[in-house]
Amino acid sequence: MIMKKLLFVVLLFVGFCANASAQFFVSGSASFVYRNENFGMTILPGVGYEFNDRWAVGAGLGLTYFGEEAKGLTNPYVRFNCWNNKLVFVDLKGTTEISFGQGDANAFIGLRPSLRLAVNNHLQLSADMGLLGVDIDNDPATPAFGVGISGIDLTLIYRF
């Protein structure tokens, strides 16, 4: 009897998500870097929810590797759509990136401009460029203000 109730709840949730007018989304990004004779990569799958045409929230949880060091990475964000024509979207993300591993943690809190391209009704490609914010390193715990364009993070988004 419990299994039937659990199955009913799961089917109800799946049905709700299917009829949610494309409000839930999953995303994933992978980036690669070669700097100072060291190779690095980041893999960051995520999930999110669009409240309306302007506001969305999301979070990613993944891994980053550079040189000989691997760290966990989490990335909660709020996205505001500044302009769109249903094909191209210009967004501003308020983001927090926290990396952690082997007794070390770093955080970035700031704003990132983003450009999204709608491939179809469900699939989008996003490019986050630059940063404006505060970088906090816990060894020693010192904040540092940063502005820059160090690369472009590409993300694939699938909207349900």
Digit-coded pLDDT (tens) for 37-84: 888 888 999 999 999 989 999 999 999 888 888 899 999 999 999 999
Omega within 30 of 0 (cis) for the link into 140: yes
Q: Quick one: pLDDT band at residue 151, thresholds 50, 70, 90?
A: low
Measured CA distances, 96 to 40, 68, 86, 132 (Å): 20, 24, 27, 12
| Residue 142: predicted pLDDT | 63
For 100-133, b/e burial (b = at least 16 CB within 10 A) is: eeeeebbbbebebbbebebeeeeebebebeebeb
Report residue 43 as tokens: 């893999």
* pLDDT (average), residues 129-139: 77
Report residue 53 as tokens: 């045409």
Which class does domain 23-159 fall in?
A: mainly beta
Residue 41 to residue 31: CA distance in whole angstroms? 5
Contact (Cβ atoms closer than 8 angstroms) between residue 106 and residue 64: no
Q: For the chain, which residues make up each domain, given as ranges?
A: 23-159
4 DSSP assignment: H
Model confidence pTM above 0.85: no
Contact (Cβ atoms closer than 8 angstroms) between residue 58 and residue 49: yes
More confident residue, 15 or 40: 40
